Structure 1
Amino acid sequence: MKKRVVSMLLIGCLGAALLVGCGNEKTDANAGGDTNASVGTEAKADTSGKDFGEYSADHPLELKLSHFAASEENQLAILANTFADYVSQESGGAVKVTVYGGGTLGNDQESLDSVIAGTLDCAVNNTPIMSGYDAGLSVLDLPYLFENYDDIYTFLDSDVCQEMLDAFSSTGAKILNLQCVGFRNLESSKGFVEKPSDLKGLKVRVTGSDVYINTWNTWGASAQTMPGNEVLTALQQGTIDACDNVNNVCIADGYQQYAKYISVMEYATHFNGITMNEKKFESLTPELQDVITKAAKKAALDCTKKLETKNAEQLEEMVAGGAEKTDNVDKAAFKEAAQSVYDKFLSNNEQGAKYYEAITALTAK
């Protein structure tokens, strides 16, 4: 792949993360399950002369933001809280985001529906769920689309990524940012999976994406869909044999307790982001819109960088805690076996095919 020089950007992101970003995971939760994200003693930006309309530090715009993660260590919660901190800082306190975790305002699908309907201001949603409203986004679910983090940062900083964000606004919800959560691996209770034939008959929980479902069924597994907050119980009860996810989600939700065989497939790059009701966003002044958008993208980039390191560390942490892993996965065999998935996608998804061409052009050797 063409390597993109990102060292200066990454240094800046790491510095920001250490100061106020993804490392700031402390929140105050009450019995109702909501979290009031606070910047504490962090300095507010100088917003004098900016037109925020009726909103100010004394009369802030109050936004409700939902995520469905059960743990505050989960990347969904960290992104939500980091955004809440950043937007408060950048707006000088003119925007206050209250974060509701644990699915108290709905699971992934339900919260996105609420944002579209306007009954909820914001939510953290996964792109496989978003693609149910904008099929072009499902290009991000294709197996082995991105090879490494150079590819990922190139994409996130590209015109095609911005085009994808802008296009989603037609649904009634705006995507404020995208963060890369990491590469998805397989966690199984039945043993390692190193080649496609090892998946025969294995009941694998996958995110509700047509591309994911088609991919796993094509490889020989029996793809099962269910909400993320039901996965641990399903593993414990044997309803499913395995699940795929990034290391951060696995360790935060405890999947390795019942699916201790981790196959490092790194077969898909998982993205999610913060959505906001489009009408709510458009009702704001351009300067306030700009503050919210920039804070969201800053939070996503900082969290992506932190997760790049953290996912590697957490894989080793799970192994140290009793899980087992194999790096001996024949990725070339899995990619070859998924050719029909690509063929079907490119022939049936016109917008997704255009995005695919643009993304592969960005990352071509």
Structure 2
Amino acid sequence: MNTTLTPGRSLYGPVDRRTLFKAGAFGAAAVAGGIALSACGAGAGAGGGKTTFRLAETHPDDYPTTLGDKKFAELVEKYSDGRIKIQVFANAQLGEESDAIEQVQMGAIEMTRISSAPMSEFVTSMGLFSLPYLFDDADHLWRFLESESGKKLLGELDGAGFKGLGYFDPGARSFYTTKKVVKTPADIKGLKFRIQESQVQIDFIKALGGSPTPMDYGEVYSSLQSGLLDGAENNEPSYYSASHFEVAKNFTLDQHMRVAELLVVNKDVWAGLPTEDQEILQKAADEAVPFQREKWDAQVTTDLKKLRAEGVNVTEIDDLGPWREATASVIEKHGAELGDYLDVVEELRTA
């Protein structure tokens, strides 16, 4: 079966994220109702016919997460002797992140690389990664991701219709603004910031006195340019690759959150695969992670140099104490649901 999808649409028309897909129940119901789970031949037995899966990615072809996707696809094809192919659709060809999540959940797309922030609208515990100033640095984050608690958290995706294959490196998200230079928490007050669709991120900006504006990634450049937004927040590679530095020249390295990237597959597609093929996909995902992390680190270093060369005003924050104090209410509000995970994060702080 060959299926052509219009970006941002399911097999049966536009996806309405406000009314569907929140509990994962629709994914199972869709399968029962006959929605095709693969472009061609999902679930073919080991040693049988060829299977092609689609993987949705919002970033450009040369972006570190896209390179991780492609490495994953390369390894899957290698370990399956060419039986399983994964087509990576970069540049949001199959829709923005929120659309991709919904389409994977219902089976219209088989796989995606997605940020944990919009995924928290489906799996609330993924909001852990949106909590401000939670991780001291990348090493602290990865100690958690690779712990038993990190694996347990990834497993919670099962309840919403997904199988989590692994984490990719997210880098650290920082603020950038069009006019006002941000040096202290007070500088955020009154500014309109684009954020991902996440209640934790909404509360974070409000705690700093700013105005949170959930918006698809593809709309940010024009909104910064027109003045609809005063700023946004993201990591260095995203800030550079999306050319947001052209319209928002002030970059503040407060590194307020490390929103984990997730590599996921539709749960029913996963369940329909022979054990051997599941093992192939998992092995490929595991081996793609260190490759992606290496690409990420190199890209951050390169892009910071490029940003400075482009005349971007880079402000480094030496003391995060005032920022943590200003946003403590966010962790207090959302921490009740994440207590066990927060305890592990704290234990790993000095590990």
Q: Identify the TM-score tier after normalising by the shorter chain.
A: 0.7 to 0.9
Task: Give the partner amino acid of 1:107.
Answer: E
Percent of aligned positions that are identical: 24
User: In the alignment, does 2:328 pair up with 1:359?
Assistant: no
1:169-203, Cα deviation, whole Å (9 max, x unpaired): 11111111111220111111113211111111111
Q: 1:213-228 counterparts in 2 under 5 A?
A: 213-228=202-217
Structure-2 residue corresponding to 1:133: 122
Deviation at 1:159, TM superposition (A): 0.6
The answer (yes or no) to whether the contact 1:152–1:180 under 8 Å persists in 2 is no
User: In the alignment, does 2:310 pair up with 1:324?
Assistant: no
Q: 1:191-340 counterparts in 2 under 5 A?
A: 191-328=180-317, 330-340=319-329
Aligned length: 311
User: In the alignment, does 2:49 pair up with 1:59?
Assistant: yes
The answer (yes or no) to whether the contact 1:246–1:270 under 8 Å persists in 2 is no
1:243–1:60 distance in 2 versus 1, CA, 3 Å: same
Q: Which residue of the other structure, out of 83, 95, 112, is the alignment partner of 1:106?
A: 95
Deviation at 1:150, TM superposition (A): 1.8
The answer (yes or no) to whether the contact 1:112–1:275 under 8 Å persists in 2 is no
Equivalents in 2 of 1:104, 1:339: separation in Å? 38
1:210–1:344 distance in 2 versus 1, CA, 3 Å: same
Equivalents in 2 of 1:280, 1:248: separation in Å? 32
The answer (yes or no) to whether the contact 2:45–2:274 under 8 Å persists in 1 is no
Equivalents in 1 of 2:89, 2:46: separation in Å? 22
Task: Give the partner amino acid of 2:347.
Answer: A
Deviation at 1:55, TM superposition (A): 4.0
User: In the alignment, does 2:145 pair up with 1:156?
Assistant: yes
Structure-2 residue corresponding to 1:116: 105
Equivalents in 2 of 1:68, 1:313: separation in Å? 21
Deviation at 1:74, TM superposition (A): 2.7
The answer (yes or no) to whether the contact 1:178–1:271 under 8 Å persists in 2 is yes
Q: Where do 5+ consecutive residues of structure 2 fail to align?
A: 1-5, 8-42
Task: Give the partner amino acid of 1:187.
Answer: Y
Q: Which residue of the other structure, out of 135, 138, 159, is the alignment partner of 1:170?
A: 159
1:328–1:167 distance in 2 versus 1, CA, 3 Å: closer
Structure-2 residue corresponding to 1:41: none
Secondary structure of 1:182's aligned partner: coil
The answer (yes or no) to whether the contact 1:154–1:362 under 8 Å persists in 2 is yes
Equivalents in 1 of 2:242, 2:346: separation in Å? 33
Task: Give the partner amino acid of 2:269.
Answer: K
> What is the TM-score normalised by the length of structure 2?
0.84
Structure-2 residue corresponding to 1:36: none
Equivalents in 1 of 2:292, 2:320: separation in Å? 27
Structure-2 residue corresponding to 1:38: none
Secondary structure of 1:181's aligned partner: coil
Structure-1 residue corresponding to 2:134: 145
Secondary structure of 1:335's aligned partner: helix
Equivalents in 1 of 2:282, 2:251: separation in Å? 37
Q: Which residue of the other structure, out of 161, 181, 190, is the alignment partner of 2:170?
A: 181
Structure-2 residue corresponding to 1:86: 75
1:23-81, Cα deviation, whole Å (9 max, x unpaired): xxxxxxxxx99xxxxxxxxxxxxxxxxxx96244x832210111122x22333422322
Task: Give the partner amino acid of 1:141.
Answer: S
Task: Give the partner amino acid of 2:188.
Answer: L
Deviation at 1:289, TM superposition (A): 0.6
Equivalents in 1 of 2:89, 2:137: separation in Å? 33
What's the RMSD between the two structures over aligned residues?
A: 1.9
Deviation at 1:301, TM superposition (A): 2.9
Equivalents in 2 of 1:307, 1:244: separation in Å? 18
1:298-318, Cα deviation, whole Å (9 max, x unpaired): 212321232123213211211
The answer (yes or no) to whether the contact 1:129–1:209 under 8 Å persists in 2 is yes
Equivalents in 1 of 2:252, 2:339: separation in Å? 29
> What is the TM-score normalised by the length of structure 1?
0.81
